[in-house]
């Protein structure tokens, strides 16, 4: 614990829920799609059933994480310091300003792309 910083379990769960929910949806719908495709073959029917069960549970975990974030959003937004990862730097004039060390593409990679892929996987599974 560097600098006596402690992240409460509630905030850790909220932080994980925000970034991992699309990944659970992506994994769940992909497993549901593959499991339903394998269900046609008699030799792979058991594997298809197992994939459908685990895929459904992954979708439920993703749904739980979304509900958890919506339920505790007010507590999270009031206590989370949105500039804790920023770095202070000086301009040529000598004025200090905050610089976010994370590139803007991080949110695109971690949230938007998995969400789009999860939507495509859900659509393909429903069309199957």
Q: For residue range 88-99, list pLDDT tens digits in order.
A: 778 788 887 777
The answer to whether residue 96 sits within a structural domain is no
Tell me the β-bridge partners of 87.
99
Residue 99 resides in a domain: no
The number of folded domains in the chain is 1
Tell me whether residue 95 is in a domain: no
Domain membership of residue 51 as a residue range: 9-84+114-127
User: Is 97 contained in some domain?
Assistant: no
Check: CB of residue 35 under 8 Å from CB of residue 49.
yes
Report yes or no on 55 lying in a domain: yes
Residues 19, 11: Cα–Cα separation, whole Å? 13
Domain assignment present for residue 98? The answer is no
User: Does the residue 50 lie in any domain?
Assistant: yes
Q: What is the pLDDT of residue 2?
A: 45
Could you tell me which of 40, 37, 35, 33 has the C-alpha nearest to residue 50? 35
Give bridge partners of residue 99 from the DSSP assignment: 87
Q: What is the pLDDT of residue 125?
A: 86
pLDDT digits 0-9 by tens, 59-118: 998 888 888 776 766 665 555 555 666 677 787 888 877 776 666 667 667 777 888 888
Q: What is the pLDDT of residue 1?
A: 42
């Amino acid at each position: 614990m560097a600098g006596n910083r402690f992240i409460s379990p509630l905030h850790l769960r909220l932080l994980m829920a925000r970034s991992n929910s699309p990944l659970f949806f992506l994994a769940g719908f992909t497993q549901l799609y593959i499991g339903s495709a394998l269900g046609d073959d008699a030799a792979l029917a058991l594997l298809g059933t197992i994939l459908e069960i685990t895929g459904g549970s992954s979708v439920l975990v993703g749904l739980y994480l979304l509900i958890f974030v919506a339920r505790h959003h007010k507590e999270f937004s009031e206590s989370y310091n949105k500039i804790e990862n920023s770095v202070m730097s000086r301009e040529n004039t000598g004025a200090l300003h905050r610089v976010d060390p994370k590139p803007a593409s991080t949110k695109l990679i971690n949230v938007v792309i998995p969400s789009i892929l999860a939507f495509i996987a859900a659509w393909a599974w429903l069309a199957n």
